[in-house]
Structure formats: C-alpha cells, structure tokens
Structure 1
Amino acid sequence: MSTQIHRLTITELASCDDCVVLRVTGELDQTGEALFLGTLGACVDAGHRHLVLDTTALSFCDSRGLNCLLAMRWLLERRDGRLLLAGAGRRLTDLLAQTGSAHLLPSHRTVGHALAELPQAQRPVWPPLQD
C-alpha cells in the first residue's frame, strides 16, 4: 500500500496483527494532514495497536504535522498501543525538542530499534522478507 497527495507519501513496509511499519516521505503539513490522519486511522481501524513511522525521508514537519503525530499518539494510547518514530532527522528532532514533545514522541535510530520497544509477539518480521 502506498498513498501520495501533494508532497506526502505513506508506504506500508511491514505489518502483523498488532503492528504496522509505515514510511512517511516528504512534507507533513496542512496539505498532507487529511491523508496522514486518514491513512493512519485506517491502520488503527484495521486493528493495528502499534504504529512505527520510518521518518528518515520526512523532509518537513510543521506544527500541523506535529499535531497529527500527537493526535495519533493519543488515539493509540487509548487502545493500549504506541506510536513509535524511527530515523527522525535534525529538523523533526529539533521540532520535538523545541515544543517539549520529545518525551511524548521519542525517536529511535532505526525501525529495528523502535520495534525492539514492543513485545516480540506484537512485532512484524523486520526487515521485511523479499518476494
């Protein structure tokens, strides 16, 4: 699954019953807000309690994007799940630090490190198997 609108692309990299790993590429701002919330909301509706976002290719995130991340964190926590970030670049890391959100949305160096935060039975195979 890959969805793109304007300057934002969200691609599923791996999944299992409890967790999905998504690559978020481009710009997370007002133009991508509906796509971001709709795509991640559909993952939660499908039963995934944990979302891991690979943000290595996220080139821009403003306050609207941060609000999207915090909204998904809130939703997942109410379902006994977690939102985990992986590979945050300097800009996203700075935004999280400047807004006091770094403790709410901790970033892990890699997707593998983020997945290690979850119980083994709730993690998809990583790295994904090639077809």
Structure 2
Amino acid sequence: MSPEPEVLTVSTTVHEADRAVVSLAGELDADTVAVLQHQLATLVLQGRKHLVLDLALVPFMDSAGLNSVLRARAETLRYGGSLALAAPGPAVRRLLDLTGVSLTSPLYASSTEALAAVPARAE
C-alpha cells in the first residue's frame, strides 16, 4: 500500500481589490499542486493580479511545485501584476536559488514585507 499523499492547505487573505496573500501549509509537489493552481487561477480571474505566496509552512517543494510558481508568475505578469514569494524555509529557498527563481521573483522575509513592496495602484 502506498503512503497517503501530504495535504496542502491553501488560505487566502485579500488586501484591496487587486492583491492577495496566499498562505500555503504542507508539501507542494505533484500530488498537491492542483490545489494551488486552482486557487491562483480563481484569484487572477477575480482581478487579483498582485499575489504574495507565503511559503513559511512549506517544508518541501518539487519540480511540479516549482512549475506552478513559475506559471503563477507568468500569469500575473500577463495581466500587469506581480508575484512575490515570502518566507521560504531552507529547503524551498535552496530550490529557488538553485533554479534561479530567486533572481527573477523577489523573495521577502515575510508576507507583510512582500505585500508592502507591491506597486501602488494607479488611480
């Protein structure tokens, strides 16, 4: 019998009409990535084009998880938005550094710091 896949919990806090913090808890891998992709697609469709991914409670991310982050970045950029990554732990930070993602997507110590760096809305 194969072990049960880890559960990924995704919660969202909306900050203004066009921005949200998406907090993840659990492993972000091939078994759990669909949960994140669905949530991010829904947020973008709702007009939230500036997203912060809070990775503080993600102990592990594989290539499928990394791909979902890259897709989310591309999608937010397509709509004139941004994707910031907050509080990655050591293992996730290493993956982001090794793959060069940390060079193209800003990394912040906390979701509060990342949200503060989101560009101001043009009125």
1:92-128 residue CA offsets vs partner (Å, 9 max, x unmatched) = 1100111122112221001121012123458xxxxxx
2:67 corresponding residue in structure 1 = 67
Amino acid at match of 2:13: L
Residues 9 and 24, structure 2, Cα contact 8 Å, conserved in 1 = yes
Query: In the TM superposition, what is the alpha-carbon distance from 1:14 to its structure 2 partner?
Result: 3.5
1:33 corresponding residue in structure 2 = 33
Unaligned residue ranges in structure 1 (runs of 5+): 123-131
Q: Secondary structure at the match of 2:100?
A: coil
Counterpart CA distance in 2 for 1:35 and 1:15 is 21
Q: Where in structure 2 are the equivalents of 1:95-110 lying within 5 Å?
A: 95-110=95-110
Alignment coverage as a number of residue pairs = 118
Q: Secondary structure at the match of 1:31?
A: coil
Amino acid at match of 1:10: V
Residues 96 and 105, structure 1, Cα contact 8 Å, conserved in 2 = no
1:35-84 residue CA offsets vs partner (Å, 9 max, x unmatched) = 11111100000110111111110111011100000000001001010111
Report the TM-score, using the length of structure 2 for normalisation: 0.88
Distance 1:31 1:13, change over 3 A: same
Amino acid at match of 1:21: V
Between 11-20 and 36-45, report the one with greater CA deviation: 11-20
Identity across matched positions, percent:
34
Counterpart CA distance in 2 for 1:66 and 1:79 is 21
Counterpart CA distance in 1 for 2:120 and 2:112 is 12
Q: Give 1 or 2: higher strand fraction.
A: 1
Amino acid at match of 1:53: L
Tell me whether 1:44 sits opposite 2:60 in the alignment.
Answer: no
1:116 corresponding residue in structure 2 = 116
Distance 1:6 1:92, change over 3 A: closer
2:58 corresponding residue in structure 1 = 58
Superposed CA RMSD: 1.7
Report the TM-score, using the length of structure 1 for normalisation: 0.83
